[in-house]
Structure 1
């Protein structure tokens, strides 16, 4: 929350400053848009690092760390409702807040980890869980044309703050991991304490408004965010009664997001 405040507060202060100088030729200062967001992550698996914390496991594997460069996690496509709140600084410059219903992002495992211990095939596990993603975006946009134009393309750039919460491990994941090979059957590992870190990402967007009249309009856009985060977890051994390994990985998301909606100016 502190990071979110740090990111958004300067933008809010800037908007307040603009408000004292705002001037549009048609007198419209704000707009609200409701629509649909389609999120298409473009990222790929980034490798998985494991720090072995159990002395027993360290002795058995003769190492205290492992790395699987061809394994990792990828995010599936998602859909959700989106709201845009626009403030018109003048006829061409717009400040925008993008919000909406946090989508549930499904996370898939890829590749083989812990080859040193017989291997756990994450690809065969498939979906490992899902997490709620809160991703407000603040944008500055430039609209081409005039307030009398029916069709008004725009370009913009800004900042996304991503907060991930309420991770739910997919049912059957622990069983699948525990039954992967002779070693895992022996130590009976269980995934615990999964955490996906908050992140800040630059954003660019292109789109267009189609004005039905002075008040109502349709909008469509394509947005890209250079969004990456880090995930950590513990692998607890039910046999040894201790954490056997602490894992971490970079999750590359880099979503392309399309949006269509209907808006009202006032």
Structure 2
């Protein structure tokens, strides 16, 4: 399983600059420096775009459910509206006399002996609890998101000088581990109209002109609280960069030589890992969706296990970003120099989270979020020319 949200992210191996040889005869073609690279992401968390395979308006059997569960998920605003317009509305009668007194639980107990076959058990439950029309889970945006944390690593920079003032610079280093902090909590905007105690056409009192009893449910269901965990995810970031750099001044004349550079950075992420707590929350959300497909809507609301084998897959796309740098070199002698720089890269990537049922191969939940890294990078090092 390839994990890593979330997100997930980044790193920049900064932009440093190497210099030219301080000799009267000319400049040296090659130089290499190594030093401390500090990355400070400037981007803010973006919302998650979430889809599930429960289409709006889908009808699903409710199955086993307790009166408390219904009560805890009641759309109270809807009932207040109904009561204001018609205090004797049948929905209010059901809400007050059936749900609040937990009569539903008693009816289920009275009709189940414990000796039923699975088919008989499901048929009795369906007769009592009916089905429900579900909305809100097909697609929504969550304000929760991910932000990259600060990073420190060893940067290594190699330069090839085209002339005394212009060099091509390749930037690498030790790929650091990038931590992704979670911001906010992810909720699913669940709503439903349930139809318990259906009167079937075979019932002697069946009257097609009488509308079925409707119970209105609505609640934001917590999927995961990202801020409850130290880090939501982490990844190993590989970020080589190539820049064209212009050095002011002249070799052998100016010990202090400022420079500017511009180029591109390529970002690839490996060893992506999601926090085990977040992963368990997403697995529970997958069971919720699968229970709806299994015809156990009540089990979905009560966060019970489903028939599925639920796994989580997290990935982050590769990215290319522009990068600009300003810095200076200071010659210590003909071969050795000190260097320092500050850089900025407009880097972002997309993290994709997929919750799958491996028993069926179905993707139950698909979520994406853009991670704006936009790092400010400082570099301090020592180099050698040859």
With normalisation by structure 2, the TM-score equals 0.57
The corresponding residue for 1:155 is 260
Distance across 1 between alignment mates of 2:145 and 2:166: 41
* Cα RMSD after superposing both structures: 2.8
**Change over 3 Å in CA distance of 1:114–1:88 after alignment to 2:** same
8 A contact 1:53–1:243 mirrored in 2: yes
Distance across 1 between alignment mates of 2:57 and 2:247: 60
Render the CA deviation track for 1:154-209: whole Å, top value 9, x for unaligned.
11110000011110122332335567998483368966121100000000001110
The corresponding residue for 2:174 is 101
The structure with more strand, counted as a fraction of residues? 1
Cα deviation, residue 50, structure 1: 0.8
Distance across 1 between alignment mates of 2:226 and 2:146: 9
1:210 matched to 2:330 = yes
- Quick one: higher RCO (CA 8 Å, sep 6+), 1 or 2? 2
8 A contact 2:349–2:371 mirrored in 1: yes
8 A contact 1:110–1:126 mirrored in 2: no
Q: Which moved more, 1:26-35 or 1:196-205?
A: 26-35
The corresponding residue for 1:17 is none
Distance across 2 between alignment mates of 1:158 and 1:145: 21
Larger radius of gyration: 2
**Change over 3 Å in CA distance of 1:183–1:258 after alignment to 2:** farther
**Change over 3 Å in CA distance of 1:85–1:241 after alignment to 2:** closer
The corresponding residue for 1:230 is 350
Gaps of 5+ in 1: 1-23
Render the CA deviation track for 1:64-85: whole Å, top value 9, x for unaligned.
11111x2211100111111100
Cα deviation, residue 91, structure 1: 1.2
**Change over 3 Å in CA distance of 1:154–1:169 after alignment to 2:** same
The corresponding residue for 1:245 is 365
Residue 159 of structure 2: which of 86, 95, 109 is its match? Answer: 86
Q: In structure 2, the residue corresponding to 1:172 is in which secondary structure?
A: helix
Residue 124 of structure 1: which of 225, 228, 234 is its match? Answer: 228
Q: In structure 2, the residue corresponding to 1:116 is in which secondary structure?
A: strand
Gaps of 5+ in 2: 1-23, 60-133, 191-220, 289-299
8 A contact 2:39–2:377 mirrored in 1: yes
**Change over 3 Å in CA distance of 1:258–1:157 after alignment to 2:** same
Distance across 1 between alignment mates of 2:135 and 2:360: 15
Matches within 5 A, 1:137-156: 137-147=241-251, 148-156=253-261
With normalisation by structure 1, the TM-score equals 0.81
Aligned residue-pair number: 242
